[in-house]
Amino acid sequence: MSLLEVSGLNSYYSDSHILFDVGLHVEKNEVVALLGRNGAGKSTTLKSLMGVVTPRTGKIVLDGVDIAGKKSHTIAQAGMQLVHEDRRIFGSLNVEENLILAGLTAKDHWPVERAYEMFPRLAERRTSRGTDLSGGEQQMLAIARALMRKPKIVLLDEPFEGLAPAAVEELFEAFDKLRHEVAILIVDHHLDLALALSDRTVALERGAVTHVGPSAALSDDLELRRKVLWL
């Protein structure tokens, strides 16, 4: 059994049908890229997995536990964390307070120093408020907060978007280290980065899965990439 198994996922916004029988799986310590054009349903898929959007139908099994339709806090306790595109850190709290707060309700959590080992720049800014951090530092904090809860899988929605090259490089290196202890499902428009980081790619088009395969194949074959991702 895979760490995460999703089948027949159908999600709606009001009466608008957004996801059509989406199915995917993620293995333990695997990185999977969820790719597609704008409006393909990528973010909706992540939100449906995390319970931010309640799917109408479908099965979502995380490490043997069916979490479909559960509340977000229940899904978080089961071992899944979503890092939203807008980061959602507490701007009025400093870095260390954000990290401590994230671990308070977890069954088990990282020590704060573990987060600083993963993101040394946060250690340098530990007393800085969230609003005083750069975009890259805010993203690091958002990801570190998710990791504080020792998740089994992390869902990343556009983690590289709008960041300076140095911050992108630092995040990429962190994700590459994390793959040895946590599974990752990543959505990002930076295709070269997402493909380089991931083991497999799931492509969406108009809310349906149109391709599943090794990311290396899409990295190496630009014609296949254009065909699969409609670029």
How large is the average pLDDT for residues 20-26?
A: 98
pTM assigned to the model = 0.94
- Is 60 exceeded by the pLDDT of residue 225? yes
Task: Give me the pLDDT at residue 32, please.
Answer: 98
Mean residue pLDDT across the chain: 94
- Is 90 exceeded by the pLDDT of residue 110? yes
How large is the average pLDDT for residues 6-13?
A: 97
Q: Does 38 or 184 have the greater pLDDT score?
A: 184
Give the CATH number of domain 4-229: 3.40.50.300
- Is 90 exceeded by the pLDDT of residue 86? no
* In the chain, % of residues over pLDDT 70: 99
Q: Where are the domains of the chain?
A: 4-229
174-195 pLDDT, tens digit per residue, is 999 998 899 999 999 999 999 9
How large is the average pLDDT for residues 63-68?
A: 96
Task: Give me the pLDDT at residue 231, please.
Answer: 57
Task: Give me the pLDDT at residue 164, please.
Answer: 92
- Is 90 exceeded by the pLDDT of residue 10? yes
* In the chain, % of residues over pLDDT 90: 87
How large is the average pLDDT for residues 112-138?
A: 95
- Is 60 exceeded by the pLDDT of residue 224? yes
Task: Give me the pLDDT at residue 87, please.
Answer: 87
Burial 201-215 (b: 16+ CB within 10 A, else e): bbbbbebebebeeeb
Confidence grade of residue 137 (pLDDT, cut at 50, 70, 90): very high
